[in-house]
Structure 1
Amino acid sequence: MTEAVAQKPAFSLAHLTALSLTPPELVSVAAQAGYDEVSFRLLPATPGGPAYSLMTDAAMLKDTLARMADTSVRVFDLEIIRLGERFDARDYLHFFETGAKLGARAVLVGCDDSDPVRRAQAFAALCELSAPFGLTANIEFMPWTAVKRLRDAVALVEEAGTPSNAGVLVDALHFARSDSTLDEVRALPRKWLHYAQMCDAPGGTPSTDAELIHTARCERLLPGEGGIDLVALWNALPRDLPVSIEIPNDQRAPLLGPLGWATQALEAARRVIDARA
């Protein structure tokens, strides 16, 4: 295998890109579009938000595993665990067990707890309990959360005692809108990087959290359509780092359908990877 081939990343279809699809449907669409992996949203990002509980739906879990076997599409990450004031990692043991059944390798973690000591303790406990299931715990910095910038995520991992399965998740949108720098990306320890999320968005940073959240959840652009320098960002990341394509767009995606949107997203993401120095 040549070095160029060895450094091509795997591509994962993030559930948020096609959240109307159930997990088995997402696997089938990912396979048809040419993805290697998928992510599943098993817990809602917000109270009452959409999610698919494979922890309790045995029939859906069986169907999902069958379609994975038929297509060779793997599960990369599971969403979303949030660190809040009353967080107890033991509440997520069934989540971890289901992740192990699916062969998942990563968990996406958000943080809403403004207390740095408490959230570090919570993250450390989460890492400890998820590790035996073969899962990494990846803190995603988002400018409207308690962990707003890349340096905040780094501080959280360090304050948690740098657990062996801890990770920092770089999402292109949040990177571009959070006063984070490419030098900070380059400085990240390789062992903390398990995957990154790709999308694009208009240039500039909205002035309110509501606008930031709206773009993130409803109006992302395909790579190359907006103002984020994705090539520069991916030049700063490891060349073989798996790429999760997370591009929800409430207006455009329904016009193309899940397969059409997922296919266009993958094609655009590959162009970014091919344009790296």
Structure 2
Amino acid sequence: MTNRFSLAHLTTLGCTPPEMTYLAARAGYDFVSLRPIYMGLPGEPNYALAENKQMMRETKEALAETGIQLLDIELARICDDVDPKKYVPAMEVAAELGGRHVLSSIWTNDRDLYMERFIELCELAKPFGLTIELEYVPIASVTNLAETLNVLRAANQENAGLMIDIHHFHRAGDKIEDLDAVPREWFRFLHLCDAPAKIPASKEEMIKILREERLYIGEGCIDIASIVERIPEIPYSIELPHNKRAQELGYEEHARRCLQTAKAYFEAYSFQKR
């Protein structure tokens, strides 16, 4: 089995998409996972490529020069106050850059609304040949595997799938054996990282760890091997933000160690795909 890895946006948050692409190539990645949808979060740069034509050209050149491929773009959130049509320019960017998937998550408790908007998002993505990968987040509105599968089954969209984040899977308390019931075609990539065994009691601490203090693969206590062996062979996007290490090592060395530890972990196990 040949594992393929993507460098996710949050791992090298301060790098522009072209910088991140060149960095990913030097560090040995196969893909990049970019965030050309600006979310307006505190301290987060704006990499909206649809609005920044120069950065878009530079990103396209970086992908062509390095041979790195765009795996996915993020994050098409389903919210009370965001029209899914707002994401169409980013979908156009993804299609032009050869991307395959759009990552989405749900941040409203209004089920009728989020079902309607999720289905609309899937329909908007179809002309671009893109899939919509639904990720659950313990601090969002759809918070675990069961809820996410319920959405996907109810939506019944051929281009919709499930994106498991190893961190969120652990924090949600999901059971590894429940992955066996997921249709194999719903798995297209996953987010890889590690974390301490103890699950934070407060939302603030949860946010701090998931955005600033994730651990290298094999460094924490998540049973990654048991999760991965139940999932088909798909790309692994390493989403492993760690502010202190990125500052001390630099983004490139941090990204390189993320990949090195992941490869070492996978080499230590023989996964039997189901």
Residue 142 of structure 1: how far off its partner (Å)? 0.8
Structure 2 equivalent of residue 3 of structure 1: none
Residue 210 of structure 1: how far off its partner (Å)? 1.1
Residue 45 of structure 1: how far off its partner (Å)? 4.5
Query: Which stretches in structure 2 are left out of the alignment for 5+ residues?
Result: none
Structure 2 equivalent of residue 255 of structure 1: 248
- Among the aligned pairs, what percent are the same residue? 36
Structure 2 equivalent of residue 242 of structure 1: 235
Residue 155 of structure 1: how far off its partner (Å)? 0.8
Report the CA distance shift for 1:272/1:71 in structure 2 as closer, same or farther (over 3 A): same
**C-alpha separation in 1, matches of 2:38 and 2:94:** 16
Residue 44 of structure 1: how far off its partner (Å)? 3.7
**C-alpha separation in 2, matches of 1:51 and 1:219:** 22
Whether 1:52 and 2:33 are equivalent positions in the alignment is no
Residue 46 of structure 1: how far off its partner (Å)? 5.2
Whether 1:73 and 2:68 are equivalent positions in the alignment is yes
**C-alpha separation in 2, matches of 1:54 and 1:68:** 14
Give the TM-score taking structure 1 as reference length. 0.94
Structure 2 equivalent of residue 215 of structure 1: 209
Q: How many residues align?
A: 269
Q: Secondary structure at the match of 1:251?
A: helix
Deviates more, 1:258-267 or 1:36-45: 36-45
Q: Secondary structure at the match of 2:29?
A: coil
Query: Which stretches in structure 1 are left out of the alignment for 5+ residues?
Result: 1-6
Report the CA distance shift for 1:137/1:229 in structure 2 as closer, same or farther (over 3 A): same
Residues 161-180 of structure 1 aligned to structure 2 (within 5 Å): 162-180=156-174
Cα pair 1:23 1:64 within 8 Å, conserved: yes
The one-letter code matched in structure 2 to 1:181 is: K
Structure 2 equivalent of residue 199 of structure 1: 193
Structure 1 equivalent of residue 118 of structure 2: 123
The one-letter code matched in structure 1 to 2:3 is: P
Cα pair 1:84 1:112 within 8 Å, conserved: yes
**C-alpha separation in 1, matches of 2:180 and 2:215:** 25
**C-alpha separation in 1, matches of 2:270 and 2:100:** 26
Cα pair 1:43 1:52 within 8 Å, conserved: yes
Residues 98-109 of structure 1 aligned to structure 2 (within 5 Å): 98-109=93-104
Cα pair 1:120 1:156 within 8 Å, conserved: yes
**C-alpha separation in 1, matches of 2:209 and 2:40:** 15
Structure 1 equivalent of residue 34 of structure 2: 40
Residues 17-32 of structure 1 aligned to structure 2 (within 5 Å): 17-32=11-26
Whether 1:273 and 2:266 are equivalent positions in the alignment is yes
Aligned mate of 1:186, from 167, 180, 198: 180
Deviates more, 1:169-178 or 1:201-210: 201-210
Structure 1 equivalent of residue 91 of structure 2: 96
**C-alpha separation in 2, matches of 1:272 and 1:233:** 13
Cα pair 1:223 1:269 within 8 Å, conserved: yes
Report the CA distance shift for 1:268/1:154 in structure 2 as closer, same or farther (over 3 A): same
Structure 2 equivalent of residue 12 of structure 1: 6
Give the TM-score taking structure 2 as reference length. 0.95
Cα pair 2:107 2:141 within 8 Å, conserved: yes
Q: Secondary structure at the match of 2:229?
A: helix
Structure 1 equivalent of residue 221 of structure 2: 227
**C-alpha separation in 2, matches of 1:66 and 1:146:** 38
Report the CA distance shift for 1:189/1:165 in structure 2 as closer, same or farther (over 3 A): same
Cα pair 1:82 1:111 within 8 Å, conserved: yes
Cα pair 1:230 1:272 within 8 Å, conserved: no
**C-alpha separation in 1, matches of 2:37 and 2:90:** 9
The CA RMSD over aligned residues, in Å, is 1.3
Cα pair 2:197 2:220 within 8 Å, conserved: yes
Q: Secondary structure at the match of 1:86?
A: coil
Residue 84 of structure 1: how far off its partner (Å)? 0.8
Q: Secondary structure at the match of 1:194?
A: coil
Q: Secondary structure at the match of 1:29?
A: helix
